[in-house]
Chain A
Amino acid sequence: MNINEVQRMVDKDGIIFLSYGGFLSQALISSMTEALEKEAEYNDISMSDSNNIFTVFIELSQNMMNYSKAANVNDASFRPQGLILVSKSVEGNYNIHSQNIISLQDKEKIEPKLLEVQSLDREGIKARYRELRKSGQHTHGKGGGIGFYEIAKRCDLLEYEFNQINEDKFYFYLKITINIDKKETK
């Protein structure tokens, strides 16, 4: 591996940080959140936009952490690893990307939620979020719960892909965009 290639990629794509191949732990997530706080402070990002970035980052990384904890430990292909990456576009908007391996069964649980949040406008997402929070169902297990609705409430664009690895396994890629309003005076 040539570290300069990684450096070029980091510079070219505005990557702020990434974590791959290791265990995502709560300690690591909170340290990365702290690094994001510094990043937001350094770039003078409004509190509203910053909190949206932190919340989305936490939601995605804790999702991956919880998913890997719940995965079948006897199945080496579900190693507790994932890729989480925060990058900044030339326009100064933030992207949070996550990718991990999930089963077909979980894909079938997640996909309807993602389709739903994509089909709703902001008010619709907020209404659905409150409805689901109230009903209290599906909030504890893996597979998102109200997490995807929390993310959708806080971002400008949610994109996802499932890429099949074999009969039962998929790469689940999620890309979240948070636009930073430079003229924000709030």
Chain B
Amino acid sequence: MENLKLEATKYTPEISLESSGVISMVGKSYPENTFEFYSPIIEWVEAYFDGSAADTTVVNMEILYFNSSSSKLFFDFFDLLEEASANHTIEINWIYDEENESALEAGQDFIEDFEALKINLVKK
């Protein structure tokens, strides 16, 4: 499976999807059309878990700020990870700046919403 890499823009994060088992999203997220923007990412992740997933998948999320539709999108993404975690080992690092209270809060909410997932809060 080919890696997929998207450079950051003013309003979308840098995204890196590696078939060796590392998924990263770093930056801001408020695309004009969130679902359209992320659909190739979601498709890649679905195909990855359907086929050639690595033994352990590490997901690094470092989102500075985001709009509400990105929040919904990340929820759907975590939902997909939770489903995949039935058959795969997945570890998620929710990386936040210690001054960024809302990013920490967002990570805590995801931990509560996805009890089956291993989500680490990682202070930068």
Where the two chains meet, the residues of A that have a C-beta atom closer than 8 Å to any C-beta of B are 26, 29-31, 33-34, 46-48, 51-52, 54-55, 58-59, 62, 65, 126, 130, 133-134, 136, 139-140, 145-147, 149-150, 154, 186
Contacts and interface: CB of A to CB of B under 8 A. Distances in A.
Given A30-B11, A62-B30, A136-B72, A130 B67 contact: no
Q: In which size bucket is the chain B interface?
A: 20 to 34
A152 to B, nearest CB: 11
Interface stretch (B15-23, B45-53, B86-94, B97-105): B97-105
A62 B69 CA distance: 10
A180 to B, nearest CB: 14
Interface of B: 10-11, 30-32, 35, 64-69, 71-72, 75-76, 97-103, 109, 112-113
Contact of A51 (B11, B98, B100): B100
Contact of A54 (B32, B65, B97): B65
Nearest to A50: B65
A126 B105 CA distance: 10
Given A48-B99, A51-B103, A58-B30, A34 B113 contact: no
